[in-house]
Amino acid sequence: MTSTLSDRPDRPIRDVVFCDGVRTPFGRAGRAGTGMYAETRADDLIVAAIRELLRRHPELPPARVDEVAVAASTQIGDQGLTIGRTAAILAGLPKSVPGYAIDRMCAGGMTAVTTAAGSIAFGAYDVVIAGGVEHMGRHPMGEAADPNPRFLSDRLVDTSALSMGATAENLHDRFPHLTRERADLYALHSQEKVAKAYAEGKIQRDLVPVAIRSAELGWGLATKDEPPRPDTTLADLAALRTPFRPHGRITAGNAAGLNDGATACLLADAGTAAELGLPTAMRLVGYGFAGVDPEVMGVGPIPSTERALARTGLAIEDIGLFELNEAFAVQVLAFLDHYGLADDDPRVNQYGGAIALGHPLASSGVRLMTQLARQFAEHPEVRYGLTAMCVGLGQGGTVIWENPHYVSPAGSSREAGQ
């Protein structure tokens, strides 16, 4: 007699844990070839991150890796050829380990994590490496893209939807109380927090040294992020021009730059992590993605967070730490205003954010997660944290995590989903 699915016992959903995350230092991109990675291949960046994960965790037999999921927004050239698979081979993983490429623009790395996590929870995989890479110096955003003319001719989206800077200007229009002055002050605080985190050695522990070369200067070693400007002042920010609109509000100072870099993290089923002796830095609680009008894509993290909270049974008051991607200061400010959080809330981006560190598109989601994991270890009083980001063409993504180091106050307890 042939069995059917209905004859079989229910398959339990397994807990997924974030074991560890690393990243390359982020570089400044540019067609002039002035950034530190100008003559470094994109695939070599993600390979360096994967190799560092394996080096840090000798307790993980490479053959136990079930999948490698790597995101890139521009999947051509050295970011093409199914980069998850090619990176796995180049990193020295057994050829029995498969890999794939994924794209959700800025949320590519975040989506690599949630997609792989779903496979782990379902039982298809036990251990996965997920990450993202973007070499915006070699591959500017949208390179070789061919948008369907009907996007604009049929007025499916506003013409500004295809320029991320223009969408940020639109957000200022929609929320006039989010002034340039507020955005500049927020940007200054991001620079200051990154400088403080560097001074305290909190960022360096995540970085993978990368060998770099220059035809003119020879070989070198990238050991720190290139974009931060710790000497920034409000006067400096106020003097910057507004490239997306005359007399606008978006500048190079209150937005993330064009950057190169890669991130990678190790995900596992909780039982497998315990079996192998892998660390548990965070436990996945839930996530949500949502769409919004593409011309105001910066509000995307608001509905994605609402969705993630609703699906997990949590409220914004349960979140003790926030890692929000700073594509533009106005986007973060809109999120903070929506949830009644102060511009300088100490729970938000404790180590600073993309305005100072950089935003190599598909890699940024895993940077947020890695920084949240470090903060969890420092804050056992915090039970839940979230990572969230806006996404090109009108989307938002949010992932909620639980702190395994959490120590409950006497007589206080709340379970996710209850």
pTM for the complete prediction?
Answer: 0.95
For 298, the 3-state DSSP assignment is helix
- Among candidate residues 177, 247, 390, 405, the one labeled active-site is 390
* Exposed e or buried b per residue across 70-90, where buried means at least 16 C-beta atoms within 10 angstroms of its C-beta: bbbbbbebbbeeebbbbbbeb
390 catalytic, yes or no?
yes
Residue 407 forms part of a structural domain: no
pLDDT tens digits for range 13-34: 999 999 999 999 999 996 656 8
Residue 355 forms part of a structural domain: yes
pLDDT tens digits for range 124-133: 999 999 999 9
Q: How many domains does the chain have?
A: 1
- Among candidate residues 106, 135, 189, 265, the one labeled active-site is 106
Residue 323, φ and ψ in degrees, nearest 5: -115, 105
Positions of the chain with pLDDT lower than 50, given as ranges: 1, 3, 411, 413-418
Q: What's the pLDDT score for residue 206?
A: 97
Q: What's the pLDDT score for residue 12?
A: 86
Residue with the two structure tokens 């993600």: 46
End-to-end CA distance of the chain: 41
Residue 269 forms part of a structural domain: yes
Please, where are the H alpha helices in 68-179?
83-90, 108-122, 150-153, 164-174
Residue 61, φ and ψ in degrees, nearest 5: -65, 130
- Among candidate residues 172, 338, 359, 405, the one labeled active-site is 359
Q: What's the pLDDT score for residue 415?
A: 45
Residue 7 forms part of a structural domain: no
Residue 412 forms part of a structural domain: no
Residues 326, 184 contacting (CB under 8 angstroms): no
CATH of the domain at 342: 3.40.47.10
Residue 152 forms part of a structural domain: no
359 catalytic, yes or no?
yes
Range of the domain at 313: 14-137+157-401
Residue 54 forms part of a structural domain: yes
Handedness of CA 148, 297, 118, 116 (dihedral sign): positive
List Cβ neighbours of 132 (8 Å cut-off, separation of 6 or more).
46, 70, 71, 72, 108, 109, 112, 262, 263, 360, 361, 362, 363, 364, 365, 366
Q: What's the pLDDT score for residue 217?
A: 83
Residue 113 forms part of a structural domain: yes
Q: What's the pLDDT score for residue 8?
A: 59
